[in-house]
Amino acid sequence: MRFHETIVGASGNPFFLDTIRRLNRVRRLLSYRSMLDRKRYRAQCEEHLAILDSLARRDQDEAADRLRAHLAHTIENLARIRPILSR
């Protein structure tokens, strides 16, 4: 969760930071209920590391591409775990 807050915090935009903090609260609840699929956590960590690598190399275009892919995977994962969340 701190990963997302750190990345957003670097923007210097307090609105975005407040928004991500609120989203993190909801995500913690969703994450707890969806612990059945551990493989996706490894994939998410690998995506986070790839984003950090791009940022460390100051490759903004690559970081943006990796972030878009990460968000797309997150949306796909939410669709997959929707049945778990509705229990």
* Span 17-46, pLDDT tens digits: 999 888 888 777 666 555 556 677 788 889
Section 54-64 average pLDDT:
96
Q: Pick the residue with more confidence: 55 or 76?
A: 55
Contact at 8 Å (CB) between 75 and 27? no
| Cα→Cα distances 54→17, 40, 47, 65, Å | 21, 21, 11, 10
- Nearest residue to 1 (alpha-carbon basis) of 31, 43, 42, 36: 31
| Cα→Cα distances 81→6, 43, 63, 68, Å | 26, 15, 27, 20
pLDDT interval class at 63 (50, 70, 90) = very high
Contact at 8 Å (CB) between 54 and 66? yes
pTM: 0.67
